[in-house]
Amino acid sequence: MVEKLSVVKFGGSSVRDSFWSALELVDYLLEGSRLVVVVSALRGVTEKLLELSERPEWELFESIALEHSRIADKLGAEVKPLLDELEKAIKENRHDPEWKDYILSFGERFSAVLFAKALENEGIPTIPIDAREILTLRGSFGNAEIDFSASLPRVRKLGELAEKAVPVVTGFIGNLNGKTATLGRGGSDYTASALGAMLDAKGVLIMSDVKGIYTADPRLVPEARLIHFLSRERALLAAKLGMKALHPRTIEPLGSIPLILGRTEDWRLGTLVSDFGDDWPIIVHRVEGERARISIVGVEELPGWKGVKGNGYFSIAVEREELVPALREIHGVVFDEDPRSCHHSELWARV
């Protein structure tokens, strides 16, 4: 029987700042299964490409070229053909959504070439895959969705390919009626989960520079705690109500396939989202102009706070400038009363 497969997605900082940890994780995962790697653009590159699509200036192009050439030289990878193609593309100077998506696609395409070469250098056979060759999209430029049934035959072939080498697939992009389109910002997590779903993976791992899902946004609430085991239902509701760590689109296709979020640098600790996780309360927020909406998922009322009870959550509207103090105060109320503490464990043994 063919062994099961895992999908691991590396975010933009992994290829640059945590290369060795990423390679170590790949080695570890390869011991137990076939593997498909999905990569996003190097950190900050999509922003630069976006800027380039708004004002195609030579200096901007040069800085993108330099950034990738430096890494390519170190690895012995070849990015010249992609650079030439990008240079030609920006000269078209078209500014329509189709052209913009085409420009944005280069970030992931550079990354896949670099990451694949890095694995090769470690003696791991790889094959860089341009997702436009396997993922059929529908919808519109800038925010397309993956057409699972149309993509399935080619994705299955990818699974077969993974028996011989590790495919390194570009996240974020696909083929929309023969044209290059993107899945919306942050879309490479969705690429990974869609591939995981179509290949019936034993797990999907999303590796980035944040450890995982916290009880609130840790950049705003320093007391927020990392949640190690979280139920799928809870993760999905939190994502729908504004949690930044995951997009609902990433969770939805997975069915009962476990999803792990982790930081590339210390990948033994993270969040495992599965049918067997706990229903932790999670405090999420969404800024709406001058106001912000805080939702406490898993809590239906909060003594002393006026708000609206939803199905499985309680939400409170605040002025935008009150957001951070309100989040911290609510976090204190919700979690000081909760004596449970998050347990540390080796999530990775489960994948």
Which among 102, 183, 197, 189 has a CA at the least distance from the CA of 155? Answer: 197
DSSP label of 177: T
Rounded least distance, CB 104 to ligand ASP, Å: 7
Q: State which of positions 31-50 bind Mg ion (CB under 5 A).
A: 40, 46
By CB under 6 A, tell whether 185 contacts ligand ASP. Answer: yes
By CB under 5 A, tell whether 12 contacts Mg ion. Answer: yes
By CB under 6 A, tell whether 188 contacts ligand ASP. Answer: yes
Rounded least distance, CB 134 to ligand ASP, Å: 17
Shorter beta-carbon distance to ligand ASP: residue 54 or 275: 54
Shorter beta-carbon distance to ligand ASP: residue 46 or 215: 46
Shorter beta-carbon distance to ligand ASP: residue 124 or 144: 144
**Half-sphere exposure (CA, 13 Å, Cβ side) for 239?**
18
C-alpha to C-alpha distances, 73 to 45, 131, 241, nearest whole angstrom = 18, 25, 44
By CB under 5 A, tell whether 307 contacts Mg ion. Answer: no
According to the 3-state scheme, what is the secondary structure of 6-65?
EEEEECCCCCCCCHHHHHHHHHHHHHHCEEEEEECCCCCHHHHHHHHHHCCCHHHHHHHH
Q: From Mg ion, ligand ASP, none, which one binds at residue 171 (CB under 5 to 8 Å depending on kind)?
A: ligand ASP
Choose the binding region for ligand ASP from 16-24, 148-156, 187-195, 244-252 (rule: CB under 6 A). Answer: 187-195
Terminal CA-CA length for the chain: 18
Angle, CA of 80, 81 and 87, to the nearest 5°:
85
Q: From Mg ion, ligand ASP, none, which one binds at residue 208 (CB under 5 to 8 Å depending on kind)?
A: none
Shorter beta-carbon distance to ligand ASP: residue 139 or 186: 186
Which among 101, 114, 99 has a CA at the least distance from the CA of 39? Answer: 114
Q: Residues touching ligand ASP: how many (CB under 6 A)? A: 12
Shorter beta-carbon distance to ligand ASP: residue 207 or 282: 207
Shorter beta-carbon distance to Mg ion: residue 40 or 105: 40
Place of tokens 């694949």: 116
Q: From Mg ion, ligand ASP, none, which one binds at residue 312 (CB under 5 to 8 Å depending on kind)?
A: none
Q: From ligand ASP, Mg ion, none, which one binds at residue 270 (CB under 5 to 8 Å depending on kind)?
A: none
Rounded least distance, CB 40 to ligand ASP, Å: 3
Write the DSSP assignment of 86-100 as a string of letters: HHHHHHH---SHHHH
Shorter beta-carbon distance to ligand ASP: residue 104 or 296: 104
Which among 268, 276, 222, 295 has a CA at the least distance from the CA of 29? Answer: 268
By CB under 5 A, tell whether 187 contacts Mg ion. Answer: no
Rounded least distance, CB 191 to ligand ASP, Å: 8
Binding pattern for the stretch 122-161 against ligand ASP, x by CB under 6 A and - elsewhere: ----------------------------------------
Q: From Mg ion, ligand ASP, none, which one binds at residue 187 (CB under 5 to 8 Å depending on kind)?
A: ligand ASP
Shorter beta-carbon distance to ligand ASP: residue 262 or 281: 262
Which among 148, 87, 77 has a CA at the least distance from the CA of 113? Answer: 77
Q: From ligand ASP, Mg ion, none, which one binds at residue 48 (CB under 5 to 8 Å depending on kind)?
A: none
By CB under 5 A, tell whether 170 contacts Mg ion. Answer: no
Q: State which of positions 29-68 bind ligand ASP (CB under 6 A).
A: 40-41, 46
According to the 3-state scheme, what is the secondary structure of 287-339?
EECCEEEEEEECCCCCCCCCCEECCCEEEEEEEHHHHHHHHHHHHHHHHHCCC
Q: 192 — alpha (psi -120 to 50), left (phi > 0) or beta?
A: alpha
Burial 237-272 (b: 16+ CB within 10 A, else e): bbbbbbbbbbbebbbbbbeebbbbbbbbbebebbbb
Residue ranges binding ligand ASP (CB under 6 A) = 12, 40-41, 46, 107, 171-172, 185-189
